[in-house]
Amino acid sequence: MNFIKVAAACPVTRVADIEYNLDNILKCLDEANKNHAKSIVFPELCITSYSCGDLFMQYSLLEGSYLAIKKIVEKSTDLDMLIAVGAPLNYKNVLYNCAYIIFNGKILGIVPKSYIPNYSEFYEKRWFSEGLGLIDEKVDFEFQKEVPFGTNLIFKSGTYCFGFEVCEDLWVTIPPSSYLSLLGANIIGNLSASNELVSKKDYRKALISNQSARSMSAYIYSSAGVHESTTDLLFSGHLLIAENGSMLKENNRFQRENEIIYSDIDVFRLNSERLKNISFRDASRIVPFEANIINFEYKENKIIVFDRYIDKHPFVPSNTKLREERCKEIFNIQASALAKRLEHTNLKKAVIGISGGLDSTLALLVVVKTFKLLGIDNKNIVTITMPGFGTTDRTYNNALTLCKELGCDLREINIVKAALQHFEDIGHDKNIHDVTYENVQARERTQILMDLANKEGGLLIGTGDLSELALGWCTYNGDHMSMYSVNPSIPKTLVRYLVRYVAEKESTNEVSETLLDILDTPVSPELLPKSDKGEIVQKTEDIVGPYELHDFYLYHFIKNGSSKERILFLAKEAFKDDYSEEEIEKWLDKFIYRFFTQQFKRSALPDGPKVGSISLSPRGDWRMPSDASFNTFK
């Protein structure tokens, strides 16, 4: 599935006590190995400690560091783990601050620190030279000859491509990791010794998160711990793992024992994002050097314990405050887009069909907000309720109540007589409740709405959402069609939260009560006759499956181009407490079948605003042939 477990470690150290430091590094390696980490990043100069000062010029310290590296190399023979550890390197009588990259009994390469800070509390240039511009060099040790040395090294095992930089490198205008990412590195390690100041933690965290987003990579950051502290400087042992702008793991700083954090990195997702982002590919032309790709091979990379949160509802922020901000933003996008269309067409009226269901409710709320923006009276919102064979008292009354409470022009047109006449005209038995029975009603409603829009000089507003479009759960040239649609890129799981947001934050008590009852009503097109008790018989999720599953499938299929196997793996992890594996696979098969066979409906969509990163508009984000086979994907 292209997941890999990585680690960031902060061992306990003593300044200039190499044996002590080595012992704790080896303990961390053993611990990481027990937890099945495949890569581990240690702090900058952790073998000697960062704050040695003029001791870096002492032969004993440099020789001790060299011997410690040799012991770590020997230790790595028994580990299936890529190790990045910090130590000095005396190369041609010049001292470099380096990251040693070790795997399976070898130093695969050595990466020098490109930028040496020499301002404020830092004066590294007293001891170290910058590695900027060093590429394709070779270093000879007694135990290993011609070790690659330079800033252009990328370490590759299958789809996992590692690049490394050291501390200050991240803080410059164009970090080395930017170049390495453009050359293919999708996992970046930073060996750091960043001292602690008030608020520096927040800036550091934002810097790492942003760099992982810009470079579309995972970023593993390990900084020197409290025991490095000396003279005027305090270090905190900050450990962070980010991925494409999201912070996956962060430790509690100021720990006084060996500490390691872990996370599973989704390399498939990173590569998928890069594949789609043409600008990322084009930017590779600015890299001033070619990569030196150093291949290595993991013995295995099985997921033993999956250490990653998989969001069941990827379209909906789990944080309450963030979710409210997102809902407010979406409403502003929808209303502003509709306002532009009304201004452009110079229309002062909107026509909308109201069923008492979620989608038409959301669309009506958007129209109301838009009219407020434009200073148009709500009486110019012509709301039509069109009861049919399956309309229940609950949805009917909610539709009437909501329109009245919002002060709209409410009209009722019963479609039963028209539908029966049409059955007679086309020779369809009214007792056969098939797709014809259902679609006659849907198309009759759309015809009424279209004709009324013409009569009133108004814009017919479409109500269908993204989830329905993905499944093709709409009648072609029925509810599928409108003059402008406001919900086409909002999935069903998010529709609920948008309606709830209005109910809780932007409504009077009367409107709020109606909205909350609409939220509690089962999702249904109400095209089949209601039960003897007057209740809804046709429940959408009983037919096509739970929308929360379909929205999950849609997100991962479109966002990352995930295969069925990968989506199954993620869904079983996310919904393990909610659905059986058989149910998850059953509805995924249904999703794939309907997604491919219903593309022709999406190819003829009316205009509508894009509000999120996933849209199925044939004019922008999703251009798929209507006749594509699903056999490769099932």
Q: Which two tokens stand for residue 256?
A: 């006084």
Q: Is 229 annotated as a binding residue?
A: no
Question: Is the pLDDT confidence value at 525 over 70?
Answer: no
Domain 320-602, CATH number (from 3.40.50.620, 1.10.10.60, 3.40.640.10, 3.90.1300.10):
3.40.50.620
The burial class, CB within 10 Å (0-12 / 13-18 / 19+), for 502 is buried
pLDDT at 498 over 80: yes
Q: Is 353 annotated as a binding residue?
A: yes
- Residue ranges covered by each domain of the chain: 3-295, 320-602
Among 185-189, 226-230, 378-382, the least confident range: 226-230
Q: How far apart are CA 306 and CA 303, in angstroms?
A: 6
468 appears as a binding residue in the annotation: yes
Residues 337-353, mean pLDDT to the nearest whole number = 97
320 among the known binding-site residues?
Answer: no
- Does the annotation list 473 as a binding residue? yes
Same topology for domains 3-295 and 320-602, yes or no? no
Confidence of residue 542 (pLDDT cuts 50, 70, 90): confident
Span 247-293, pLDDT tens digits? 999 999 889 999 999 999 999 999 999 998 889 988 888 899 999 99
Please give the pLDDT value at position 121.
76
Torsions phi, psi for 549 (to 5 deg) = -70, -45
Predicted pLDDT of residue 285: 87
> 74: which residues sit within 8 A by CB, 6+ positions away?
105
Q: What mean pLDDT comes out for the span 36-58?
A: 95
Residue 354 labelled as part of a binding site: yes
CA distances from 631 to 513, 589, 592, 593 (A): 47, 11, 9, 9
Confidence at 122, pLDDT banded by 50, 70, 90: confident
> Is residue 172's pLDDT more than 90?
yes
- Of the pLDDT bands very low, low, confident and very high (cuts 50, 70, 90), residue 303 is confident
pLDDT at 109: 98
The catalytic residue positions are 44, 113, 167
Does the annotation flag 123 for ligand binding? no
**Banded pLDDT at 537 (limits 50, 70, 90):** low
Q: Whose CA is closest to 489, among 458, 465, 517, 462?
A: 465
184 exposed, middle or buried (CB, 10 Å; 0-12, 13-18, 19+)? Answer: middle
Measure the CA–CA gap between 36 and 40, rounded to whole angstroms: 11
Taking the domain 3-295, which CATH number applies?
A: 3.60.110.10
530 pLDDT band, cuts 50/70/90, is low
